[in-house]
Structure 1
Amino acid sequence: MEEDKNRPTDIGIEDTKVNELIKTLNKLGFTVLGDKEQKNKTKEEIIELLKNVAAKGDFKDDYCFICIVLSYGQDGVITCYDATQSPKNPTAGMQLPVSELQECLKGDKCRDLLLKPKIFMLQLERALGDYIESPATGTQAHKPVKIPREADFLTYTCERDEAITTWNEGLKEYVQKPKQPLEIQKLLTRMNRLYCEYYSKKHMTVDAPCVTSLLTREAYLKKEEPSPK
């Protein structure tokens, strides 16, 4: 889980949201690699982190992999941390297309995750000051998000800071209700509704989260049952 200390939201509140999301994911049986979230990583450090996950991780008994990124960025390109640069004017060395991260987990690099769902959830905000644009700069077309030519990747991208809240609410609603396992894309649809409703109540207009899926089969999340003593 990648976080940027220059984010516009209150850091204490943001850390609380991250911790709550981790607790919810733990109830679904997920484990945070490295035992804690990763913060303020450069482009090279994030890529190296995923390469190490692919090379050293033991996923034979795991059902799926989820990578959650909280940072600046847009159009599927993450603005990574650089202590010497502002995220408002990112250099090429700060910009990381999610496709480069997904390349690290392709079947030839991580056999244990071959044919298993690999889900990337991105909360990519624009840097402070970027929301108000002049007519000359506000007409840029959205670039397509490129993903590897390999099945079983799903990318879910939001552009506002309350995405993590709606992710947690959606997962909690599912985790706490003793129902049949929920298919992941149905869960994301539920999160889309929560996300849009949150901003609608504030009389704000936002784009709905973008889902790009190459999953070849239905993927279900289920609450992890306690191990018998």
Structure 2
Amino acid sequence: MPGPRYDAQKCMGKVLIVNNQTYYAEKEKDKNRPIDIGKEDKKVEELIKTLNDLGFTVLDVEKNKTRDQMIKLLKEVAAKSDFKDDYCFICIVLSYGQDGVITCYDETHSPKNPTARMQLPVSELQECLKGDKCKGLLLKPKIFMLQLEEALRDSKDGIETGTQAPKPVKIPREADFLTYTCERERAITTWEKGLKQYVQEPKQPLEIQKLLTRMNRLYCEYYSTQGMTVDTPCVTSLLTREAYLKIEEPSPK
């Protein structure tokens, strides 16, 4: 009978980061997400350092990927990466998007009027990691951390041919997936701070559900101090056991 926790492994696991920062736009001011790219890159570097300190291996930081390129990335990870000694896999996506649907890069269309080919439900990425396609991650946590910011349409813009509303996200029926979605750019800072404060520093790290609850609080408290109201980040979990993002220390003899 399996225990209450996912089985410990030699390594924490692998991480893939996709950061869609720059998009095509007719107006130069609409070219990038409303961020300081240099500052966001630095935040990503800080998150990578914390993940490395926890024992994770960051495979790569990919930027400005189309829908097909993102699916190809996950298929390559599933096919070519050796997960036998890994505890879990984490995919981090920073992009435009909403309702669990990522708005991907396109060289000819603005994210303010995305075509169907720019819209990628996270469930399609998760399909690449199901047990029949990636046996090394079977019965292991597969975690998706999403920072999806909505690209507000210009009221005077017309609707592009082929544009459609994002489809509601559907999580694969297979167990052991977790999706955590934030809608503001503060998400990446919250993740890095939460991992340090509640996983790296304590001798006994928080279980992932409790960890994400604490991250929600950090995220909402920040915006509250700015006089802003935001939606609480959304957690969708099909995990079947307790998950901890830190290698277990051997028990004292």
TM-score, normalization by structure 1: 0.89
**Residue of 185, 188, 201 corresponding to 1:177:** 201
Counterpart residue number, 1:222: 246
Superposed CA offset, 1:177-201 (max 9, x none): 2321321111111110000001000
Matched residue SS, 1:54: helix
Counterpart residue number, 2:51: 25
Amino acid at match of 1:12: G
Superposed CA offset, 1:104-136 (max 9, x none): 000000000001000000000012x4599xxxx
Supply the distance in 1 between the matched residues of 2:248 and 2:120 (Cα, whole angstroms): 33
1:83 aligns with 2:107: yes
Superposed CA offset, 1:53-80 (max 9, x none): 1111100000000000000000000000
Counterpart residue number, 1:12: 38
Aligned-residue sequence identity (percent) comes to 80
Q: Residues 1-229 of structure 1: matches in 2 within 5 Å?
A: 1-4=17-20, 5=22, 6-33=32-59, 36-127=60-151, 129-130=152-153, 144-222=168-246
Matched residue SS, 1:121: strand
Give me the CA root mean square deviation: 1.9
Matched residue SS, 1:165: helix
Supply the distance in 1 between the matched residues of 2:19 and 2:200 (Cα, whole angstroms): 27
Supply the distance in 1 between the matched residues of 2:206 and 2:199 (Cα, whole angstroms): 9
Counterpart residue number, 1:138: none
Amino acid at match of 1:27: D
Amino acid at match of 1:10: D
Counterpart residue number, 2:158: none
Specify whether residues 176 and 131 from structure 1 end up closer, same or farther in structure 2 by C-alpha distance, changes over 3 A only: farther
Structure 1 runs of 4+ aligned residues shifted over 3 Å read 129-132
Paired residues of 2:199 and 2:206 also in contact (CA < 8 A): no
Cα drift, residue 28 of structure 1: 1.2
Paired residues of 1:28 and 1:224 also in contact (CA < 8 A): no
Cα drift, residue 143 of structure 1: 6.6
TM-score, normalization by structure 2: 0.80
Instruction: State the number of aligned residues.
Output: 214
- In structure 2, runs of 5+ residues without a counterpart are 1-16, 23-31, 156-165
Amino acid at match of 2:114: P
Counterpart residue number, 2:8: none
